[in-house]
Amino acid sequence: MTDFDDTLDDTFSQPTDHVADSAQSVSELIDAINALLTREFREVWVYGEVGKVSQPSSGHVYFDLVEDNDGEKHVISVKLWRGVRQRLLSKMKQHDMDVVSGIKVRIRGTPDVYGATGQFGFKMSDVDPRFTLGDLAAQRDEIIAKLKKDGVYDRNRHTTLPLVPLSIGVVTSKGSAAHADFMKTLEESGIGFNVTLCDVRVQGEGAARQVAAAVARLGDQPNVDVVAVIRGGGSRTDLATFDTEVVARAIAVCPKPVFTGIGHDIDTSIADEVAFSWNKTPTACAVAIVERVNGFVHHVDSAAQRIANVVLTALANSERRVANAVGRLRTLRTTALEAATSRIDLLSTELAGFDPVVLMRRGWSITYSADGKVLKSVRDIDRGNEVTTRVADGTVVSTVVATTSSRTNEQKPRSNNNNA
Amino acid sequence: MPRKKDDADIGYEDAVTELEEILEALSDDDIDVDELAERVKRATELVKVCRDRIAAARLEVKEIQLPEESR
């Protein structure tokens, strides 16, 4: 042993009595500090942004309350005991809020030091939901104003939705109920959709950044027709991710139409507001896409039906025209035949009038000169000539005695009978 | 006459436009019977192409990852 060691030994072996008298145990000190804190800061209100949140199975909730002054951070660890949380739940539910990362809160409670860890913290006893909601509304207005100023606010709504959006990029938490509901609707449609999934966190730290990146990524895929952003129901503060500028902006500038299906009970998020089509639930979102495709199918079917109708009408018209023509032809033929028959009958009657046999029966006769020619004029015959007269039942041979012209009364030897 | 395109590549918009054109042509009372037959044949093909492409394929799913810096 050296002198030094002796000295050291002395120091520890001879405690100074006046220090020992006033010393407190660790727990005593912590209790004293807590008593002081309670006296000075009992039930104070404090506001800040919710940072990291952890919710173990015990039912207690632990979160960081953060004040960020341009990068200079001040943090208090807040403890929300299970009992207090139960008491506050109905109040928070009524205002559609929950304690989630990224929202601003005003809470009441008492600072304390936790004996088991020595950590300084804050025991939360109450919350002012109106502060949170007012902040969300103000933040929301601010983001919308910013997007409008940048000229991107309604950009996605002006993208063109393909007639048949078969390729869908899906941004959601893989395996969630929202994901299952969406896929079930697509499957049941029987349509051959092509889904590209990008798995993201939809709430909590980093969720907004992931959702925004996924929207951008899927929007850039050449084979993606539409991007669907879906998430199951939750409180308004639960859905804070979809009220962030980074997500709203990613949707607004996405080159493909974005369909949202973010479960909301009451309000729409900024994501919904800037999206091409917003739908209340993931199922409704899938239905909207299915309906677009079915609309096309119906359009094609209706065109096919109209074409079939035109063809049927054309065929019916042709058949009717042919039937009409045949009918007209029949009528025409009958009429023509009848007309021809009666004309022939008429002609026969007329012709019969010219038959010499008939005329002779009435008393007319024909006289031939000796050379066999029909005697038509007194000038063709002289007295003493022999003539032959044909009557209905035979011939008479005569000799001309005299002729007389009926025009001049010129005396000429006449035959002994009348000429026709 | 109907525009002939390779049906494997024909877009839905083009298919519908062509169907509408055919329908309009068919509505003409003076259409020739041979042309009618030709147009109806083409329309049937177009309807089949559209329907088959939508209904035939089964639902396909693939996954893509977020960029490293966003995870």
Residue A405 maps to a domain: yes
More confident residue, A161 or B70: A161
More confident residue, A285 or B42: A285
Residues A122, A25, single domain; the answer is yes
B55 to chain A: nearest residue by CA? Answer: A191
Residues A325, A181, single domain; the answer is yes
CB contact under 8 A, A318 and B33: yes
B56 to chain A: nearest residue by CA? Answer: A192
Residue B38 maps to a domain: yes
Provide the residue range defining the domain that includes A401. Answer: 353-420
Using the Cβ of B23 and the Cβ atoms of chain A, whether some distance falls under 8 Å is answered with yes
Residue B1 maps to a domain: no
pLDDT band at A374 (very low <50, low <70, confident <90, very high): confident
Q: How far apart are CA A338 and CA B44, in angstroms?
A: 52
Using the Cβ of A318 and the Cβ atoms of chain B, whether some distance falls under 8 Å is answered with yes
Residue A72 maps to a domain: yes
Q: How far apart are CA B4 and CA B23, in angstroms?
A: 16
Return the ∠ at Cα A386 (arms to A384 and A392), rounded to 5°: 140
CB contact under 8 A, B19 and A303: yes
Q: Which residues of A touch B67 (CB under 8 A)?
A: 213, 217
Residues A182, A310, single domain; the answer is yes
- Count of domains forming chain A: 3
Which of A160, A161, A164 is best to mutate for the B interface (most B CBs within 10 A)? A164
Residues A343, A195, single domain; the answer is yes
Which CATH number is A256's domain given? 3.40.50.261
CB contact under 8 A, A218 and B71: no
Residue B41 has pLDDT above 50, yes or no: yes
Return the SS3 of A377.
Answer: coil
Task: Determine whether A114 is exposed, middle or buried from the number of CB atoms within 10 Å of its CB (0-12, 13-18, 19+).
Answer: middle
More confident residue, A343 or A168: A168
Using the Cβ of B49 and the Cβ atoms of chain A, whether some distance falls under 8 Å is answered with no
Residues A376, A321, single domain; the answer is no
Residue A419 has pLDDT above 50, yes or no: no
Q: How far apart are CA A244 and CA A25, in angstroms?
A: 49
pLDDT band at A20 (very low <50, low <70, confident <90, very high): low
Q: Which residues of A touch B43 (CB under 8 A)?
A: 303-304, 307
Q: Which residue in the set B16, B23, B53 is minimally distant from A307, CB to CB? A: B23
pLDDT band at A301 (very low <50, low <70, confident <90, very high): confident
Q: Which residue in the set A187, A192, A293 is minimally distant from B56, CB to CB? A: A192
State the nearest Cα–Cα gap between B6 and chain A, in angstroms. Answer: 18
Residue A15 maps to a domain: no
Amino acid A212: pLDDT: 96
Residue A99 maps to a domain: yes
Spatial CB neighbours of B18, under 8 Å, sequence gap ≥ 6: B2, B3, B5, B42, B46
Least confident of A72-86, A204-218, A308-322: A308-322
Last residue within a domain, chosen from A334, A351, A368: A351
* A131, A102, A156, A287 alpha-carbon torsion, rounded to 10°: -90
- Quote helix, strand, coil % in chain A, to nearest 5: 45, 20, 30
Using the Cβ of A89 and the Cβ atoms of chain B, whether some distance falls under 8 Å is answered with no
Residue B2 maps to a domain: no
Q: Which residues of B touch A212 (CB under 8 A)?
A: 70
Amino acid A77: pLDDT: 95
CB contact under 8 A, B13 and A163: yes
Residue B22 maps to a domain: yes
DSSP string, A191-242: ---EEEEEE---SSTTHHHHHHHHHHHHHT-TT--EEEEEE----TTGGGGG
Q: How far apart are CA A312 and CA A104, in angstroms?
A: 70
Residue A267 has pLDDT above 70, yes or no: no
Residues A255, A377, single domain; the answer is no
CA of residue A380 relative to chain centroid, distance: 112
Q: Which residue in the set B16, B59, B67 is minimally distant from A186, CB to CB? A: B59
DSSP string, A239-289: GGGGGSHHHHHHHHH-SS-EEEEE--SS---HHHHHSSEEESSHHHHHHHH
Last residue within a domain, chosen from A351, A376, A411: A351
Residue A12 maps to a domain: no
CB contact under 8 A, B64 and A300: no
Mean pLDDT over A138-147 rounds to 90
Alpha helices in B1-71 (DSSP H): 12-26, 33-55
Amino acid B16: pLDDT: 83
Residue A420 maps to a domain: yes
Residue B23 maps to a domain: yes
Residue A400 has pLDDT above 60, yes or no: yes
Residues A207, A280, single domain; the answer is yes
Residue B25 has pLDDT above 70, yes or no: yes
Amino acid A420: pLDDT: 40
Provide the residue range defining the domain that includes B66. Answer: 12-70
Residue A189 maps to a domain: yes
State the nearest Cα–Cα gap between A37 and chain B, in angstroms. Answer: 41
Q: How far apart are CA A418 and CA A343, in angstroms?
A: 36
Q: Which residue in the set B12, B57, B67 is minimally distant from A217, CB to CB? A: B67
B31 to chain A: nearest residue by CA? Answer: A314
More confident residue, B32 or A41: A41
CB contact under 8 A, A217 and B66: yes
Mean pLDDT over A173-184 rounds to 94
CB contact under 8 A, B40 and A307: yes
Mean pLDDT over A259-278 rounds to 86
Residue A154 maps to a domain: no
CA of residue B8 relative to chain centroid, distance: 9
pLDDT band at A407 (very low <50, low <70, confident <90, very high): low
Last residue within a domain, chosen from A74, A107, A127: A127
More confident residue, A315 or A39: A39
Q: Which residues of A372-382 are buried (b: 16+ CB within 10 A; e: fewer)?
A: eeebeebeebe
Q: Of A82-96, A121-135, A149-163, which one has max mean pLDDT?
A: A149-163
Amino acid B6: pLDDT: 61
Mean pLDDT over A156-172 rounds to 95
Residues A224, A91, single domain; the answer is no
A186 to chain B: nearest residue by CA? Answer: B59
Residues A193, A328, single domain; the answer is yes
Residues A54, A102, single domain; the answer is yes
pLDDT band at B1 (very low <50, low <70, confident <90, very high): very low
Mean pLDDT over A215-230 rounds to 96
Amino acid A317: pLDDT: 80
Residues A341, A199, single domain; the answer is yes
State the nearest Cα–Cα gap between B7 and chain A, in angstroms. Answer: 15
Mean pLDDT over A123-129 rounds to 93
Amino acid A185: pLDDT: 96
Residue A243 has pLDDT above 60, yes or no: yes
Q: What is the ipTM of this complex?
A: 0.75
Residue A3 has pLDDT above 70, yes or no: no
Residues A196, A285, single domain; the answer is yes
State the nearest Cα–Cα gap between A218 and chain B, in angstroms. Answer: 9
pLDDT band at A285 (very low <50, low <70, confident <90, very high): very high
CA A83 vs CA A59, A87, A124, A318: distances in Å: 9, 6, 11, 86
**Tokens encoding A251:** 């949707």
pLDDT band at A9 (very low <50, low <70, confident <90, very high): low
CA-nearest of A215, A178, A220, A170 to A195 is A170
More confident residue, A382 or A229: A229
Least confident of A41-50, A324-333, B3-12: B3-12
- Count of domains forming chain B: 1
pLDDT band at A18 (very low <50, low <70, confident <90, very high): low
Using the Cβ of B40 and the Cβ atoms of chain A, whether some distance falls under 8 Å is answered with yes
